[in-house]
Amino acid sequence: MTQSTVYSTQSSFPLPDVFSSALTELFRSVQPAIVQVRTDLRGGGTGIVWQNDGHIITNHHVVASNNAKVQVLLSDGRTLDAKVLHSNPQLDLAILKVPAHDLTALQVGKSAALRTGEWVFAIGHPWGQRWALTAGIVSSLSTVKLGNGQTAQYIKSDARLAPGNSGGPLLDADGHVVGVNAMIFGGDLSVSIPSDVVQSWIAGLPRGRAVLGVEIQQIELPAAVRQQLQPERSVGLLIVGTSARSASLQDLLVGDIILEVAGTPVSDAATLRKIVAQQQEGDALSAKLLRGGVVLDTSFVMQIVNDAE
């Protein structure tokens, strides 16, 4: 009996029209989280919205010029001024901050899970062409030596990059960021900084500290006010000034006397600082104030300030 091989017309690889539709949907979903980065001293690059509160990742070399004005262009047409919060020339990474809290952030994937032959996609602004999409496969994951004796890993792929793609995302088939595109490594191979490296760098940065953005002074309370308070107390904290970072503290005014915060009486700066230090950005703290001789209840919103800002 002669055996014959039967070839199935079915394939585990998506049909062209299905693949095309999936890629179109991937692009549509991630485009709002990809920005164009521009400076007044050199050409532009690309950035990735890392957090919806305005933190954006790009390459160090895109914003390396000292005192350069940096702006980002969003897919919705908005142009926002950006500030460089942190930068690492050796890894070629930088973090920008823009004044927005309604951005769409990309989901970060695990670069360590990448395998040679996987599909990857790059979106950026090559030669000024905005939101251009290219595709390729992972060629290898390589380790290179840095100048300080340390090593760093890079993803090599044949996704086509050009000037203007720098700082943009390398995406896996699920639309997750697995790398930050950096440069061309000879021939047609593109180099991307693995997302795991980016996450590790961010985790090692100094954390911000919570602030109220006000200057205070201890003050004696009038006898009539003391009797209204339970427990009774003799001193409060007078607001004598506000800092430039206190724009969100619209419910605190110079001349107010802080009596309680988060249900805790505050009669000295150390107690207030301890309460504030336990908060996160955006937390609303209840407060009891003395304003114009009247005790009232209000709240204020916490700010996080990074000492590098």
Nearest to 303 by CA among 103, 101, 49: 101
CA 269 – CA 264 distance, rounded (Å): 13
Count of other CB atoms within 10 angstroms of residue 199:
15
* 228-247: b (≥16 Cβ within 10 Å) or e: ebeeeeebbbbbeebeeebe
Amino acid identity at 137: I
DSSP codes, 25-69: HHHHHHGGGEEEEEESSS--EEEEEEETTTEEEE-GGGS-STT--
Nearest to 129 by CA among 36, 59, 40: 36
Report helix, strand or coil for 76: coil
Q: How far apart are the first and last CA of the chain?
A: 80
Among 87, 111, 139, 166, the active-site one is 166
Judge whether 166 counts as a catalytic residue.
yes
CA 33 – CA 75 distance, rounded (Å): 8
Angstrom CA distances, 23 to 58, 141, 172, stand at 24, 24, 11
Among 61, 86, 125, 176, the active-site one is 61
CA 189 – CA 183 distance, rounded (Å): 9
Judge whether 61 counts as a catalytic residue.
yes
Q: 46, exposed or middle or buried, with CB in 10 Å at 0-12, 13-18, 19+?
A: buried
CA 185 – CA 49 distance, rounded (Å): 25
DSSP letter assigned to residue 5: P
Nearest to 300 by CA among 244, 241, 260: 260
Among 60, 86, 87, 92, the active-site one is 92
Judge whether 17 counts as a catalytic residue.
no
Would you name the residues annotated as active-site residues?
Answer: 61, 92, 166
